[in-house]
Amino acid sequence: MRNIGIGLIGTGFMGHAHALAFQHALSSFTLPVLPRLVALADADPARAARCAADWGFAKSCDWESLIADPQVELVAITTPNLLHAPMALAALAAGKAVYCEKPLAVTLEEATQMRDAARAAGVVNRVGYNYLQNPMLGLARDLIAAGEVGEIVSFNGEFSEDFMGDPQGAFTWRCETGQAGGALADLGSHLLSLSRFLLGPVEALCADLHTAHGQRPHQSGLRAVEVDDQAHLLLRFASGARGALTTSWLKHGRKNRLAFEVCGTRGTLTFDQERLNELRFYQAGERPELAGFRTLLAGPQLPDYAAFCPAPGHQLGYNELKTLEVRSLLEALGGNSGYTGVDFQEAWEVERLAHAARTSSREGRWVRL
Ligand SMILES: NC(=O)c1ccc[n+]([C@@H]2O[C@H](COP(=O)([O-])OP(=O)(O)OC[C@H]3O[C@@H](n4cnc5c(N)ncnc54)[C@H](O)[C@@H]3O)[C@@H](O)[C@H]2O)c1
């Protein structure tokens, strides 16, 4: 059995999720290549050393040494968005496979450079659009493809959280244009990837991006927030379906509301990531006294659920979605590309939509893709 050396950059929220997922994948699946935790890097060397010991990495170092290490064959990048491009480009130039967190980059130009470099390097590349790994979303996509919902008429999507809801909440890297891209980049990118996953390409869009809280406290005093707090988009899909998307990081009470409603000529499907084991399905034509939404509950009839638990109703969580993403990555590294996963090309498509949304909002017009 071949091992593959993993180098992980970043020890924040996502760094920990990646470390868990590599370990969890080992015990959940029969894999063609086994992850070996070689090196962990962070801007804070003491934290890197501590996390390396706690999470089972052989050593800690800075990110440049990590990429140069011949034992590291896959570089996982979980740093702030600004650092995705330089780190991924360096890793690709060194011929390493890359697993980068979303969004792919801060600007479309950088994203294009990354996509082209990945293509030229010919290595496995993946981006962290983990929500798409949910077997219930796979089921939704299968139901749509099988015509169970009929011809799709509309897609309503929302991704809202409230971690920036307090107007006095601190200014962070997420508030700077040069470092990130606001709620649209942070949350909306997941929603854009989901809309493409379920309904296919978008033909045109019209967007309104808005900064509700113009200043936030920073150690140097109040600082101007440069990015959007919320965005509202209208979409026209190539299929002819219409869409309306909302994203916000201000919405008090919403913790991980990645939700959608797909309406077709024969029924409606709805989903909310806060109840990620449930898909709700309304089929038109039922006897009126029986008509209503049915709740389909995830269980071992779905192989990606069964991999974790043999019993129905016990429920998958966020970290299992990350583990499924890592499984898809390791399968691709073993030469099997038959699993759902977002590569740099598809992540670039998402960046193209986000870029079009910014243009639309700035210029007050519809943008054709
Ligand atoms: N896929 C998802 O569901 C999901 C969820 C949250 C965040 N993210 C993405 O993950 C990325 C990180 O977000 P986070 O919430 O984990 O942020 P975070 O602030 O919690 O962690 C960022 C980490 O990067 C490290 N870092 C910064 N500069 C560095 C450098 N020069 N060298 C090495 N390490 C450095 C920081 O020390 C920190 O450990 C972002 O791109 C974000 O969009 C994805």
Element (H, E) at 237: strand 230-237
Which of 249, 200, 210 is closest to 353 using CA atoms? 200
Q: Which atom number of ligand 1 is nearest to the Cα of residue 173?
A: 19
| Cα–Cα distance measured from residue 34 to residue 46, given in angstroms and rounded to the nearest whole number | 28
Average pLDDT over residues 84-94: 98
pLDDT of residue 286: 86
pLDDT band for position 191 (cuts 50, 70, 90): very high
**Does 80 contact ligand 1 (Cβ within 6 A)?**
yes
The response to whether residue 264 sits with its C-beta less than 6 Å from ligand 1 reads no
CA 94 to centroid of ligand 1, rounded, Å? 22
Largest CA distance in the chain: 66
Average pLDDT, the chain: 97
- Cβ–ligand 1 distance for 102 under 6 Å, the answer yes
Ligand 1 atom 25: the closest Cα is on which residue?
10
Look up residue 187 and give its DSSP letter.
I
Predicted local confidence at residue 56, as pLDDT = 97
- The answer, yes or no, to whether any atom of ligand 1 lies below 6 A from the CB of 186, is yes
Place of tokens 């990531």: 273
In short, whether 41's Cβ falls inside 6 Å of ligand 1 is yes
What are the structural domain ranges in the chain? 3-130, 135-275+277-313
CA dist list (Å): 77 to 7, 17, 59, 327: 9, 12, 17, 17
Give domain 135-275+277-313's CATH number out of 3.30.70.270, 3.40.605.10, 3.30.360.10, 3.40.50.720.
Answer: 3.30.360.10
Question: What interhelical angle do 344-363 and 189-199 show, nearest 10?
Answer: 110
The token duo for 184 is 């649209």
The architecture that CATH gives domain 3-130 is 3-Layer(aba) Sandwich (3.40)
Q: How far is the CA of 150 from the centre of ligand 1 (A)?
A: 41
- Whether the CB-CB separation of 206 and 364 falls below 8 Å is answered with no
Q: Given this model, what pLDDT does residue 274 score? A: 98
Helix and strand numbers (H, E) in the chain are 11, 17
Question: In this predicted model, what pLDDT tens digit does every residue of 29-84 receive, in sequence order?
Answer: 999 999 999 999 999 999 999 999 999 999 999 999 999 999 999 999 999 999 99
CA 77 to ligand 1 center in whole angstroms = 8
Which structure tokens are listed for 327?
């499984």
Question: How many angstroms separate the CA atoms of 293 and 339, rounded?
Answer: 30
- Which has the higher per-residue pLDDT, 76 or 338? 76
Of the pLDDT bands very low, low, confident and very high (cuts 50, 70, 90), residue 1 is: confident
pLDDT band per the 50, 70, 90 thresholds, residue 260: very high
pTM of the predicted model, to two decimals?
Answer: 0.97
Distance 11 CA to ligand 1 centre (A): 7
**What does the alpha-carbon distance between residue 247 and residue 186 come to, in Å, rounded to a whole number?**
9
Q: Which residues of 8-39 are buried (b: 16+ CB within 10 A; e: fewer)?
A: bbbbeebbbbbbbbbbbbbebbebebebbbbb
Measuring from atom 21 of ligand 1, which residue has the nearest CA? 12
Which pLDDT does position 337 carry in this prediction? 87
Q: Determine how β-strand 367-368 pairs with β-strand 202-210.
A: antiparallel
Separation of CA 273 from chain center: 13
Q: Which of 110, 117, 64, 106 is nearest to 87 (CA)?
A: 64
The finding on whether 133 has its CB within 6 A of some atom of ligand 1 is no
Pairing mode of beta strands 230-237, 242-248: antiparallel
